[in-house]
Structure 1
């Protein structure tokens, strides 16, 4: 089994009608042409994968190691690089080869990986769906959205690791599995997926598809 896929950008959400008349929410992803930058093998690298890249990057803003990495294969620098692991046949894939949206078909189920929206430092009500400590009474001040007690005094005399408390929320790598492709347009390179995906508009997404050998 291997994982193949492309890199796309989140263009936002809309809704469409299915053949049975049901209106469903969906996400539009714009997929630019991707190029194979490197083919890694077990013999040379210890594992098997292909590295793909997309979107042009200015050479002046590219460091020398990366610049040499791209010049070695005769391609211009790319902004986004992603690896897909699996047992890839070197006869089927070549360095510099173009991979486009045609690897997907309508009805396929794919995994989408992205970075969720950052929401900054948040309290327990928003971060963990706490209800607060109840209604305000005489003598209480600002307790409606409080976490309440977080640990016992004598035993264990500390707060356990992993306790749900206030903290940074969002800006995490998220994978949404088994999203169905509803529509596909090869000319502008648009994928319409059922449901939502992580990330802001214009953020990079990795669309993965499992291929069984």
Structure 2
């Protein structure tokens, strides 16, 4: 018997990286997502049901596949997506080298989208359009929440406040005890809810329904609110808690190839 308990016929150890990847694999989306700009909120009115549905307008801005992350090299499958544009003088030399190696134009924002396997890796240089998402499907939106600055405990954590009478003086909105003395180690435990900087954190809103898609203008309208202020960058991808949309992996991805391939074709 092998003293290290490893071999080709033994099961995968539950605490290994391979086992963790296999556990998470069924929850990974089959296709990439998109980087969008939050334009603001509006509402859609249905004259049949007489209901007003609040929604958020998202717009794609030159969203393009920049590179891939492969499991045999990086340990996982992912698509690197960029959007917007940026002048070369405002981009560092290592970043310019990364774009030049892939043969794609410079982008202002970059993000990665995990996918299940190699089938979800579009060709480098492909342009992602708004019809990647279909009306009626559900998506997950990830963004950076709006910064509130320094906030008190009642606003930041929803405290109810101290009594308004019965001897309470000038501490109606202030916090009380921060912890016990000797019983808890005579210290304030890490993670204690206190006043401090509020907002500016990553947040995910799951299962937002796509209400309308405009491919020509790159518009995706989703039901409800999306984290972040106006003009902020939001990552949207197929919802992991809903059935995967039954569409082809090439829908919404225009295979245009990289810039270097286009130059070689002209020659």
Aligned residue number for residue 152 of structure 2: 123
Structure 1, residues 14-49: CA drift from partner, whole Å, max 9, x if none? 111135221111111111231111022122222211
Aligned residue number for residue 114 of structure 1: 143
Larger Rg: 2
Aligned residue number for residue 93 of structure 1: 122
Q: Could you say which structure has the higher strand fraction? A: 1
- Secondary structure of the 1:12 match is strand
Structure 1, residues 114-160: CA drift from partner, whole Å, max 9, x if none? 0001111111110111121111455x542110111222233222222
Aligned residue number for residue 168 of structure 1: 197
Q: Could you say which structure has the higher helix fraction? A: 2
**Residue from 148, 170, 176 that aligns with 2:176:** 148
Cα distance in 2 between the residues matched to 1:147 and 1:32: 45
Output the TM-score relative to the length of structure 2. Answer: 0.74
- Secondary structure of the 1:66 match is helix
Q: CA RMSD in A?
A: 1.9
Aligned residue number for residue 82 of structure 2: 53
Output the TM-score relative to the length of structure 1. Answer: 0.92
- Corresponding residue pairs, total: 211
4+ residue segments displaced more than 4 Å? 210-213
Indicate if the aligned counterparts of 1:39 and 1:50 stay in contact, CA closer than 8 A: yes
Which ranges in structure 1 are unaligned for 5 or more consecutive residues?
none
- Higher relative CO (Cα under 8 Å, sequence separation at least 6) belongs to 1
